[in-house]
A and B are shown apart, each in its own frame.
Chain A
């Protein structure tokens, strides 16, 4: 494993440093405390890391077997534009997640949890930096008909929560529970995207993936391990984070995470062009099974803490029985355990967009009934926000036939921050972006 470290041209490096002073103000604290929380680990480096020795032949798609493309000019215009859209979305998620994490980071109950998330944020910054390297180290303008990397970088640095490419990055966190559930659920989609992109026919993109994936492994741990610990404390009646609170956060993020794979019926172009090795539904199916495993694991942790005398086999048996019967066992109710929401629950993009499917897969005919169902299952702070209000308004229009599903998907307005592309200009207003025509 040989990795080359690359820094951006000074003016772009400074732009990223400037951005991080606004959105990652604890960065210096993280570096100062690095050895305390991450003893013996390599020091953090804000740089692009390129894996050496990766395959140089295209693995999938219509160019399979050909030499991987080393420069944008070796791509067709369609391929260049498609790949730029992937890089833009990837970069947006990296910077977007830092903005989300920063809102509630200080509310962590434990310093270790806080520093783990801080490290995640710093590494997301590095991942964004990595995408900027892909945009800036070569000239895309000829291949992509005038699209310039530096303009894309400027646009990405100007995005805020509300104007990012994917919906999961346009929701504010309600509490530190969201920091953790986001890492466990949304970063897991990131792992799938990075894994699929390891085969990318554009070699600099493929070379970027292994170092990012190695860091992503810790990001998932920064989600799952605190959730396991919270489940244990909840079972023992300690702490203030309940299984119901975790479930509500899962219900908030899981539908948005599923939508990050793209429409279930799509993904052919990615495979045809050799940029990814799985279509959307295929990757989403694997993701769902992995989340199912995660939830089972956390429930098992909860039960063993609740019944310390049980053997693992007895604990498994009780878990199976309570899940099957939806009943109780010695004071533990089905509702005390975490559940995997139905894949169609609370969806606004993709195949099940704007259907009214409940957490357990049940269908609703009336909007008011469905909204009441959601209100009982989503975090209270989230329900009080604008996203939920707009969702409810749009759902009513869809169900009444005043708006088609495709239009609703496009219409779902996003908040857009205006007033300059740097948070230094704090005189920002929030406006509703005009729907795409």
Chain B
């Protein structure tokens, strides 16, 4: 059983967090995906290392949230924050770590001049949707659309 009473510190992501994030993801999804996380964390570190945060307890990373500031995408010219991925070690759930991670990221995004933060969620994932709603996220006029691409398709 982990030392759940240890103080939790929120700090910017760094390159030595990759192993811990791989491990949290593996605990949540059951999939060991180091290549994916090396690529994603390399991306976030080169763009803005302070926009992504990890929660550390007793020297161990127990949660993470990856975000950045983008502008000029999808016709949105003003800088806006995006939160792409987050995960909390199942042993550390219920300790409000996601809220603390979001707060730290929002403070940074505000400093960077962002006035909005966006993310995409699966509507069927009630847990994540509920969590984000509780934090003040509301449905956006910007709607995610998708369609299937047939192997061979007439125009």
Interface residues of A (CB under 8 A from B): 1-2, 38, 40-41, 116, 119, 214, 217-218, 220-221, 223-225, 228-229, 232, 290, 293-294, 297, 300-301, 304, 308, 312
Contact = CB atoms under 8 A, between A and B. Distances in A.
Nearest to B108: A1
B45 A217 contact: yes
30 contacts: A1-B50, A1-B108, A1-B111, A1-B113, A40-B70, A41-B47, A214-B49, A214-B50, A217-B14, A217-B45, A218-B46, A220-B14, A220-B15, A221-B15, A221-B45, A221-B46, A224-B15, A224-B16, A225-B15, A225-B18, A225-B38, A225-B41, A225-B42, A228-B18, A232-B34, A294-B16, A297-B16, A297-B19, A300-B19, A312-B26
Contacts of A221: 15, 41-42, 45-46
A420 to B, nearest CB: 37
Nearest to A308: B32
Nearest to A210: B50
B121 to A, nearest CB: 22
A270 B131 CA distance: 47
Contact of A312 (B18, B23, B45): B23
B34 A304 contact: yes
Interface in B31-76: 32, 34, 38, 41-42, 45-50, 70, 73
Contact of A304 (B32, B38, B108): B32
A185 to B, nearest CB: 13
What's the interface size class on B, roughly?
20 to 34
B10 to A, nearest CB: 17
B93 interface: no
A38 B46 contact: yes
Contacts of B32: 304, 308
A214 B51 CA distance: 10
A219 B27 CA distance: 29
For the complex of A and B, list the 10 residue pairs with the smallest distance between their C-beta atoms, beginning with the closest: A217-B49, A218-B46, A221-B15, A1-B111, A297-B19, A224-B15, A221-B45, A220-B15, A217-B45, A225-B38
A236 B42 CA distance: 23
B112 interface: yes
Contacts of A119: 46
A223 B38 CA distance: 12
Contacts of B18: 224-225, 228, 297
A297 B60 CA distance: 12
Contacts of B23: 312
SS class of chain B's interface: helix, strand, loop or mixed?
helix
Contacts of B46: 38, 41, 119, 217-218, 221
Contacts of A308: 32
A214 B47 CA distance: 9
B69 to A, nearest CB: 9
A293 B61 CA distance: 12
A214 B48 contact: yes
A304 B46 CA distance: 26
A38 B47 CA distance: 9
B141 to A, nearest CB: 23
Contacts of B16: 224, 290, 293-294, 297
A144 to B, nearest CB: 34
Nearest to A40: B70
A182 to B, nearest CB: 15
Interface string B7-35: 00000101110110001001000001010
Contacts of B49: 214, 217-218
A28 to B, nearest CB: 20
Contacts of B12: 217
A112 to B, nearest CB: 9
B5 to A, nearest CB: 22
B109 to A, nearest CB: 10
Nearest to A304: B32
Contacts of B111: 1-2
A53 B110 CA distance: 14
B31 to A, nearest CB: 12
Contacts of B14: 217, 220
Contacts of A218: 42, 45-46, 49
Contacts of B15: 217, 220-221, 223-225
Most chain A CB neighbours (cut-off 10 Å) among B14, B16, B41, B73: B16
A165 to B, nearest CB: 27
Nearest to B13: A217
A334 B50 CA distance: 37
A225 B19 CA distance: 11
Nearest to A289: B59
Nearest to B72: A40
Interface string B94-123: 000000000000001001110000000000
A300 B16 CA distance: 12
Contacts of B42: 116, 218, 221, 225
A130 to B, nearest CB: 18
Contacts of A225: 15, 18, 38, 41-42
A163 B111 CA distance: 41
Contacts of B47: 40-41
Contacts of A2: 111, 113
Contacts of B70: 40
A304 B31 CA distance: 13
A380 to B, nearest CB: 29
